[in-house]
Amino acid sequence: MSAPEAVQSPCIGLCRLDDRNLCQGCFRHRDEIASWRAMSEEERSRVVALARLRARGF
């Protein structure tokens, strides 16, 4: 059984927080960005999914 692929950061290098502390580039919350390195792959997957929803305006 092979190890799951690492979840890549959604960062696109446009790092600017809005008034809700969401990055306008990757749509992660400030706290999600700060704790990214300490997250498990499962947690990272959830954050990426949430960021995609935020990007769509949900």
> Dihedral of CA 9/29/50/54: which sign?
negative
> pLDDT tens across 29-41, in order?
999 999 999 999 9
> pLDDT tens across 1-58, in order?
666 689 999 999 999 999 999 999 999 999 999 999 999 999 999 999 999 999 998 6
Quote the number of domains for the chain.
1
Range of the domain at 51: 17-58
Which backbone phi and psi does 43 adopt, to 5 degrees? -65, -45
Report yes or no on 12 lying in a domain: no
Q: Which of 49, 9, 44, 51 is nearest to 27 (CA)?
A: 51
Query: What pLDDT shows up at residue 2?
Result: 67
Report yes or no on 33 lying in a domain: yes
Report yes or no on 30 lying in a domain: yes
Do the Cβ atoms of 54 and 27 come closer than 8 Å? yes
Report yes or no on 35 lying in a domain: yes
